[in-house]
A and B are shown apart, each in its own frame.
Chain A
Amino acid sequence: MIIKVLGPGCANCKNLERVTREAVGALGLDATIEKVEDYPTIARYGIMSTPGLVVDEKVVVSGRVPTPAQVRDLLTALAS
């Protein structure tokens, strides 16, 4: 599973990265987490409000930081 956190480095983007890393750790998933900070790439995913979360090239969250529980649910559903 390849997870990308999209955002130029604002506070919310860092929060999303932290929440995602915690969720991956808690679920014991075999996933790589990348940070995407460059605007053209972010825009190419169709994201207009940062932060964004992309799992295996599919946008799953944009514009807000979900709660840790929501991220765990999301990743569990996508991993199965």
Chain B
Amino acid sequence: MAAYWVNGWLWDRFLYDALGMAPAARLTGTIHFFLYDTIKIALLLAGIIFIVTVLRSYMSIERTRAMLGGKREGGGNVMAAGLGVVTPFCSCSAVPAFIGFVAAGVPIGVTLSFLIASPLVNEIAIGMLFSLFGWQIAALYIAAGLAIAIVAGWVLGRMGVQRWVEPFVFETKLGGHVIDPAARLSFDQHIQIGVEEVATILRKIWPYLLAGIGLGAIIHGWAPAAFFTTYAGPGNAFGVLVAAAIGVPLYSNAAGIMPMVQALYEKGLPMGTLLAFMMSVVALSLPEMILLRRVLKPQLLAAFAGVVASGIIAVGYLFNLVLA
């Protein structure tokens, strides 16, 4: 915490006084932004990941499934989306989780609500949005992500998508004794899981983070404000569409692109467009689609991507309208 506040002062002294650079010069601004933001974002992230992971380690996907068992569509979609946010879940487990849910009798649409909400409404992103932009933006992000997951799961469930699920999923018999990874953990172990997760995530995303902050610093110092507002500002009707399209091939953790989002926001890009970009980066990713292809036929995969993309685009336009 203290390190967080000292950070800005320290780089002021270092660049302006020690190196004698002019505070108003462009290059100084860019370097200052980069150094300051790298430390700020790294500290913020470490704090947020730690808190989120420790809290989440009290929850497990086995408990989530037990809660969703016997739920119908509708209410089940709402609950699945909410649980998708709080359940610790890695997209590498998407396939066994899908099989486990469906084989336990959770409706496909409800299962899909869970799988959509889990990456889309990311707690680390919530924490970052809250610290950088305030609670209103964080709340809007949560509400929008939940709405997309609930509606998309419900619509897909209504389409009768059972026929587009690979048949082996329904033939899988659940056996074995299920163990709950969250059970029997001591408080120290919860803390230890939190520390390990901070190390794992930072080790994994630091290249993206530095690239994002670097780009952010360049945008901050060099891109004329008019450039972005002309091409992607509130006046451009296609801004959200383009932002969502750019986000699809990019695959990053929500946390990794936050510095860029912040820099673009300062340059006058509307929040709806930025949220659409962020959601499309995290929720529509090729690697996850390839994984899900093992259990979903191409028709359902296409419907899944289509429904989620429409939701993201709708949210982008809606936010731009509301926040304008």
Contact = CB atoms under 8 A, between A and B. Distances in A.
- Same complex for A and B? Answer yes
A49 B92 CA distance: 8
Contact of B100 (A8, A43, A57, A60): A43
Given A39-B95, A44-B175, A64 B294 contact: no
Contact of B172 (A40, A49, A64): A40
Given A43-B174, A45-B176, A63 B99 contact: no
A53 B133 CA distance: 43
Interface string B263-306: 00000000000000000000000000000001100000000000
Contacts of B176: 44-47, 54, 57-59
B90 interface: yes
Interface in B17-49: none
Given A43-B103, A43-B172, A49 B95 contact: no
B178 A46 contact: yes
Given A50-B93, A63-B61, A64-B193, A44 B172 contact: yes
A48 B168 contact: no
Contact of A39 (B62, B181, B295): B295
B324 interface: no
Quick one: which of B172, B173, B179 has the most chain A CB within 10 A? B179
Contacts of B295: 39
B175 A8 contact: no
Interface string B217-261: 000000000000000000000000000000000000000000000
Given A50-B92, A59-B178, A62-B181, A39 B99 contact: yes
Give the size range of A's interface with the partner. Answer: 20 to 34
Contacts of A43: 96, 99-100, 103, 172, 174
Contact of A44 (B89, B95, B173, B193): B173
A42 interface: yes
Contact of B96 (A39, A57, A64): A39
Contacts of B99: 39-40, 43
A48 B93 contact: yes
Contacts of A12: 90, 92
Contacts of A8: 92, 95
B59 to A, nearest CB: 11
A49 B61 contact: yes
Interface in B172-189: 172-179, 181
B179 A62 contact: yes
Given A39-B95, A59-B178, A46 B193 contact: no
A55 to B, nearest CB: 12
A48 B92 contact: no
Nearest to A38: B294
Contacts of B168: 40
Interface string A1-23: 00000001010100000000000
B90 A46 contact: no
B60 interface: yes
Given A10-B92, A39-B99, A49 B60 contact: yes
Interface of B: 60-62, 65, 88-90, 92-93, 95-97, 99-101, 103, 168, 172-179, 181, 193, 294-295
13 contacts: A43-B99, A45-B175, A46-B174, A47-B96, A47-B100, A47-B176, A48-B93, A48-B101, A49-B61, A49-B93, A63-B88, A63-B93, A63-B181
Given A39-B295, A43-B103, A46-B175, 7 more contacts: A8-B95, A39-B95, A47-B100, A49-B61, A58-B177, A59-B176, A64-B181
